[in-house]
Amino acid sequence: MKLHFYKYQGAGNDFILVDNRQNTIDHHNPELLERLCDRRFGIGGDGIMFLQHADGYDFEMVYYNADGRPSSMCGNGGRCIVAFAKFLGVIDTETEFVAVDGPHYAKISEEGTWVSLQMIDVEQVDRDGEAYVLNTGSPHYVTLAQDLKSRDVYAEGSAIRNNQTYCTNGINVNFVEPLADNNGYFVRTFERGVEDETFACGTGVTAVALAMATHNKQSGHITTPVKVLGGDLNIRFNYDGLRYTDIFLEGPAMQVFAGEIEI
């Protein structure tokens, strides 16, 4: 059969999107999904998502990593599927949808290219030596770095992701450097499931913003600009000294192309 798909990217984080509201595709097939995400033998993407019907919500987001396995929450994927839902006419400028980590609210611009996605609240930020460890829908390791532009993020990130502490469940590894003008951070991320560096990671930059607020002993309403390899993102949230709430991941989400592939 032919699979009709759309390709979206959010700050260089790219995804295959499929409208599966009629449940025509059985996506419980890791080998097929991995092949579709392969950049040489398939469509290519950091992951694949299926937009499905969900009682009580505008839609359900079902996300798989590039290895074809079910994943935890993907922030940039969430922003892209909101843009996809608007393109399909499922939503207008606001939505309530459900993902693997629960319900999410999002708002999208009239043009359909800028998405503000509310993330889950965070209560716990742990330490691993000098690094910060927290879950923003996916587990993240956040460490400060110098001369980040020239760091071997693949080798260093893979070593942390596969060490004795994290090898069983895996973890996403974020390297962070303050920008020269002290207005935000430059972030590079090694993602589990993709098992490589990606151009952006939504839950990763969210984790960075919260970790840096902890590191700098900030509280109140905080806005954190973040630069990634694929562009610019923004994170805003409230921190009362105990909990991070009203967390929003904001940035671009663009349709790249559409097509069909035989499966």
- Residue closest to 135 by CA, chosen among 106, 159, 94, 166: 166
What is the C-alpha separation between 136 and 12, in angstroms, rounded?
20
Amino acid, res. 142: V
What is the C-alpha separation between 211 and 141, in angstroms, rounded?
9
The secondary structure of residue 70, as a DSSP letter, is: B
Question: Do 186 and 227 touch, CB atoms closer than 8 A?
Answer: yes
Residue 224's CB is within 10 A of a number of other CB atoms, namely: 20
What is the C-alpha separation between 95 and 107, in angstroms, rounded?
6
Hey, what are 182's tokens? Answer: 């002290």
The answer to whether residue 201 is catalytic is yes
The answer to whether residue 80 is catalytic is no
What's the alpha-carbon Rg for the chain, to the nearest Å?
18
Ramachandran angles phi, psi of 77, nearest 5°: -65, -40
193 phi-psi bin (left φ>0, alpha ψ -120 to 50, beta other): left
195 phi-psi bin (left φ>0, alpha ψ -120 to 50, beta other): left
What is the C-alpha separation between 193 and 103, in angstroms, rounded?
23
Q: Which of 37, 74, 80, 167 is catalytic?
A: 74
Catalytic site positions:
74, 201
